[in-house]
Amino acid sequence: MSLSLLNFHGLRNLLPIEMTPSSRINVISGANGSGKTSLLEGIHILGMGRSFRTRQLKHAIQADEPHMTLYGRLSGEPEVTLGVRRLRSQRELELRLKGG
């Protein structure tokens, strides 16, 4: 299965982003501080439910945002959707998995 859609809002220094990655190879490039590692962190959080950069996901929420929402879709039959939502003010992490 490969990612067919990514939609991130409120993650670190990334502006809200919606992208359709290639099923083969994707190249991520940009200047220092432009969000390359944050994009990879968002993908990691979707897959693992935790960050590789911090123990507490509230620290991954953008400074001026009350929450972060990460959404992804895996290609295949059936398609699988993944979602993570973390509010800064709550200790709970909301994880959603729908599909096969």
The predicted model scores a pTM of 0.88
Q: Percent of the chain at pLDDT above 90?
A: 79
Strand order in the sheet with 3-9: 17-19, 3-9, 67-74, 80-87, 93-98
* C-alpha radius of gyration, the chain, whole number: 13
Burial class of residue 84 in the structure, from the number of CB atoms within 10 Å of its CB (0-12 exposed, 13-18 middle, 19+ buried) = buried
Q: Please, are residues 68 and 7 in contact by the beta-carbon 8 Å criterion?
A: no
Structural domains in the chain, sorted by start: 3-98 (3.40.50.300)
Q: Helix, strand, coil proportions of the chain in percent (round to 5)?
A: 15, 35, 50
Q: State the pLDDT confidence band at 3, using cuts at 50, 70 and 90.
A: very high
- pLDDT tens digits for range 46-92: 999 899 999 999 999 999 999 999 999 999 899 999 999 999 888 77
Q: Reply yes or no on whether the pLDDT at 100 is more than 70.
A: no
Q: Reply yes or no on whether the pLDDT at 5 is more than 80.
A: yes
